[in-house]
Structure 1
């Protein structure tokens, strides 16, 4: 396994009623260029969480943050998806933990990254205080972590297309793991909370009529890297993604881009009819680009109760 903060592999508990974000579709936050835009653009990065001792960052994290700033400036970015393992090796202790500053605020400093960061927790975060990461949303203008799992809904500017992102907690769903022993998730700590989240995911997928539907978590469903596929997600989540025609599943955990590379992220652009995904190395090389179509769903069908 590469050093921590070699971000991202991509593939595809209280009650959820406390979630902060509305289920209705919202416009992107107003900015100087909003009126001229006809797409949603965002970055996705995972496993960026630095070190628990000075200098609290790694060269890979620093290089990745620098390239993310350049890409956000040149290609555009409305927000960032942070897909877990936000703070190595055992998360944070409290909302006042200096790691929020040392590993996040003081690292991702480009003006182009002063945008909302929508966050989920990874296995290393669950080794610490995830509630403190949620609470930090009240202390940072860009850190957006309302609950362990939540829903984001956007309108694609100047179109009639919509984007939904379900941010899920795969550790609550499948259990924690120990990277140093290559331990697989052995089952959720609390089966009631896991089943509650799974029902929420199922209900949101069933009801979604979004033109583009993403699910984002930490553990991969499929992976060709060290951790391999997550059996729990193959059994519990993948059938739902297939049944409800999710556009893609975004994740972290394996410290690569499903290539032989150290450090990187994805840039995603959602327009009226398609989603373009570009995998970018920290050194600036574009590794791969793919285009996914708008969902083919029967919008006249009556959603399940």
Structure 2
């Protein structure tokens, strides 16, 4: 990542959740912040902002710790919020807190290892979040609109499609002509292009555990890449196209895709 980051002169890094395994952080002084972030991504090219969302494993710890400005004082790169917008000129990234959408995290209160402070009452939280995402996407004047979340929407990977997101979030993405959805959760690298909506689903979950050895059937015309292993991806965006590249841990190119942007769509 460091070598490629230098070659491409990257502006920032997007971190798609499950930032600290297995159970998030215990607090702002948890040494895992250094062991899994500060002391790992030391390359000069990676000393840029890291925009992060929360994953389900992060919710198993002290969520407020990851959101705390104290961590940013420890390392100025760290930017983690539940849901937020990153305006990067011709592209806007809409970060969405996807963990509270999943019903099964709430179904066994006796075994509730999740920190839902700031989320409850859940129905109100999700309703407001969906309204905010819809409104922000509708008002955006950006050439490119990309949504980032931890959980999958469409995937041939281990966890399968997240039904709650398909039912509640996906219609908003389709209505507002989102170009791509970037996620983690499945520990693989994957590129799916929806044949109807044209949305690109980019899974970059190869930062930790991988090699699960399972892949679900998927339309081969839509599935452009499925790599059951570790790695990462880069995105370079201009007004006319977005170039997406997936790499393995050694920086070997696994898959490239150039997504064109029609600047004069038919009415």
TM-score of the superposition, structure 2-length normalised? Answer: 0.76
2:12 and 2:161 mapped to 1: Cα distance?
A: 28
Deviation at 1:172, TM superposition (A): 2.4
Aligned to 1:104: 37
Asked if 1:140 corresponds to 2:75, the answer is: yes
Indicate yes or no: 2:101 matched with 1:173: yes
Deviation, structure 1 residue 130: 1.5
CA contact (8 A) 1:116 1:141 kept: yes
Residue 131 of structure 2: aligned partner: 199
Pair 1:215–1:281, CA change in 2 (3 A): same
Provide the residue aligned with 1:261 in structure 2.
Answer: 228
- Between stretches 272-281 and 288-297, larger displacement belongs to 288-297
Question: Does 2:238 align with 1:271?
Answer: yes
Q: Over residues 140-196 of structure 1, what are the superposed CA-to-partner deviations in whole Å (9 max), with x where a residue is unaligned? A: 210012x310001122xxxxxx11000111012335649xxxxxxxxx861111111
Correspondences of 1:67-78 after superposition (within 5 Å): 68-78=1-11
Task: State the superposition RMSD in angstroms.
Answer: 2.0
C-alpha deviation, 1:75, in angstroms: 2.2
Distance 1:169 1:244, change over 3 A: same
Which structure exhibits the higher relative contact order, with contacts defined as CA atoms closer than 8 Å and separated by 6 or more residues?
1
Question: Which of 221, 231, 234 is equivalent to 2:163?
Answer: 231
Gaps of 5+ in 2: 107-118, 191-225
**Which residue matches 1:153?**
87
Number of aligned positions between the proteins: 216
Any conservation in 1 of the 2:240–2:262 contact (CA below 8 Å)? no
Within 2, Cα distance between the matches of 1:292 and 1:238?
A: 20
Greater strand percent: which structure? 2
Q: TM-score, normalised by structure 1?
A: 0.67
- Is 2:91–2:142's contact at 8 Å kept on the other side of the alignment? yes
Match of 1:248 among 180, 201, 209: 180
Q: How far is 1:202 from its partner? A: 0.7
- The question of whether the paired residues in 2 share the 8 Å contact of 1:211 and 1:295 is answered with no
| Equivalent in the alignment of 1:292 | 259
Cα drift, residue 137 of structure 1: 2.7
| Structure 1 residue ranges (4+ consecutive) displaced by more than 6 angstroms after TM superposition | none
Question: In the TM superposition, what is the alpha-carbon distance from 1:267 to its structure 2 partner?
Answer: 0.4
The Cα of 1:74 is off from its aligned counterpart by 1.5
Q: Indicate conservation of the 8 Å contact 1:209/1:297, yes or no.
A: no
SS at match of 1:123: coil
1:228-252 CA distance string (max 9 Å, x none): 1110111111111111111100000
> Structure 1: which 5+ residue stretches go unaligned?
1-67, 156-161, 179-187
User: Aligned pair in 2 of structure 1 residues 295, 193: CA closer, same or farther (>3 Å)?
Assistant: farther
Distance, in Å, in 1 between the alignment partners of 2:31 and 2:7 is 31
